[in-house]
Amino acid sequence: MVEEKKCSFCGATIAPGTGKMYVKKDGTVLFFDANKCYKNMILLKRVPRTTNWTEKAHVEKEARLKAAAKAESKE
């Protein structure tokens, strides 16, 4: 069985036989589904949670909205 991998930047699943694997000098392995993700993380040094189109940014936004709604309901 082939192992499914997730993109280290956007969180999308990577089909077997596609994508790019990047190994850092410290031994950390990063997987990317598209060149767009590779460029954003490695070349442009962007953080996934602050990039609007990534899965991590959507999770962060939902958490902020829940916390705001909870704080508002307590008042």
pLDDT in tens, 29-65: 999 999 999 999 999 999 999 999 999 999 999 999 9
* Mean pLDDT, the chain, whole residue set: 93
* Domain 5-74: top CATH class: mainly beta
pLDDT for position 66: 94
What residue ranges do the domains of the chain occupy? 5-74
72 pLDDT band, cuts 50/70/90, is confident
- Asked if 41 contacts 30 with a C-beta cutoff of 8 angstroms, the reply is yes
CA distances 2 to 5, 15, 20, 44, Å, are: 9, 10, 16, 31
Predicted pLDDT of residue 1: 73
